[in-house]
Amino acid sequence: MCTGGCLCGAVRYEAKGDPINVRVCHCRLCQRAIGAAFNARALYEIDMVVLTGPVASVNSSPGLKRGFCPQCGTTIFSMREALGVMGLTSGSMDDPERFKPTEHIWISSKQPWLVLDDGLPQYPEGPTE
């Protein structure tokens, strides 16, 4: 199980079971949405996640909705409803150290000062699967 929430505590979530995958995305959309060099996230089936509290959302690209706390601005998730999946941001997790990434995606947009030497697979764009 994974639990987490926003900085001010107004939004909380609980995700049951294990994530589908845990990835680090370096695309420019994630960089802008998160306000950081990358977005580390754990992907779950939507029906495995229960959100409580006020959540605002915006479609950052076709088919991708991002959810955040309207009070403090913390980005909580990115969601592809058509695929039935939701990526919970590692920074919003209560215990982020439990969810170690297995690969880096969209490294074609990676910040040039960021050195990836963790030995994980790296994909120029999205993953092959």
Band of the pLDDT at 129, cuts 50, 70, 90? low
In total, how many domains does the chain have?
A: 1
Domain that holds residue 48: 2-109
Give this prediction's pTM: 0.91
Q: What residues pair up with 61 in beta bridges, in sequence order?
A: 64
Assess contact for 25 and 38: CB atoms under 8 A: yes
**Is the predicted pLDDT of residue 119 greater than 70, yes or no?**
yes
Collect all residues with Cβ–Cβ distance below 8 Å to 35 and sequence separation of at least 6. Answer: 75
CATH of the domain at 87: 2.170.150.70
Note whether residue 81 is domain-resident.
yes
Amino acid sitting at position 15: A
Domain assignment present for 34: yes
Return the DSSP state at 123.
-
Percent of the chain clearing pLDDT 90 (strictly above): 92
Write the DSSP assignment of 34-65 as a string of letters: HTSS-EEEEEEEGGGEEEES--EEEEEETTEE
List, for residues 69-104, the tens digit of each pLDDT value. Answer: 999 999 999 999 999 999 999 999 999 999 999 999
Confidence at 61, pLDDT banded by 50, 70, 90? confident
Q: What is the pLDDT of residue 78?
A: 95
**Within a domain: 115:** no
Residue 125 lies in a domain: no
Domain-located, residue 117: no
Residue 124 included in any domain: no
pLDDT at position 127: 73
